[in-house]
Amino acid sequence: MKTTGMVRRIDDLGRIVIPKEIRKQLMLKEGESVSFAVEHNHIILTKFSMLYKLSPTIQILLERLYSKYHNTFLLCDKRCIVVCSSDGLAKYQRRELSKDFLLQLQKREQQIEITMEFYGKEEKVTIFPLLYEQVVQGALLMLSHQTPYYLIDQALLEFVRDIIEEELESCV
């Protein structure tokens, strides 16, 4: 664990101000949520993503997609890869997203097909942004390894995206 050397007082209502430098580093904005964990004598604050709540269910869905198409399927929030099909676990799980990828995600198109550098390798990536209240929360991703995108049932992938978006709504 890296120490910042910053110290803050707890006020009479139990509030603590998170230093601006840390908020900037974690891209925390006003109104966003953080989760708390206690480990030994440490309080751990983590930027909260509703997608983490869905990850066990989505893992099963991504595995089924992988077994059908033999492509890598991933779910990301606006910061990192949250969950992926088993073929990508060691390579992608919990990895931070690049700025180039985040720019693609912010386009808010129904889907984006692009060849880009994805963790050191040129990949054909199909991005299905996930929206909640018209704000991008993350994306369903497919890396085309064996089955080209045009051979995959687009309606099925859109259906999967719709299911994830409905689950996001039910989490609130």
The pLDDT tens digits for 119-166 are: 888 988 888 888 887 788 889 999 988 877 777 877 888 888 888 888
Residues of the chain with CATH 3.30.450.40: 50-171
- Indicate if the pLDDT at residue 168 is higher than 70: yes
Q: What is 50-171's CATH number?
A: 3.30.450.40
Looking at residue 1, what is its pLDDT? 62
Higher-confidence position of 26 and 83: 83
Residue 19 tokens read as: 């230093």
Q: Enumerate the H helices of 31-94 as residue ranges.
A: 50-69, 89-92
Give per-residue pLDDT as tens, 69-118: 899 999 998 888 888 998 888 888 788 888 888 888 877 777 888 888 88
pLDDT at 55 over 80: no
The SS3 of residue 112 is: strand
Burial class (CB in 10 A: 0-12, 13-18, 19+), 54: buried
pLDDT of residue 146: 80
Within 8 A by CB and 6+ apart from 119, the residues are: 91, 92, 95
Q: 98 and 87 in contact (C-beta within 8 Å)?
A: no
User: For 40-53, what is the mean pLDDT?
Assistant: 78
CATH class belonging to 1-48: mainly beta
Comma-separated ranges of CATH 2.10.260.10 domains in the chain: 1-48
Q: What is the pLDDT of residue 171?
A: 65
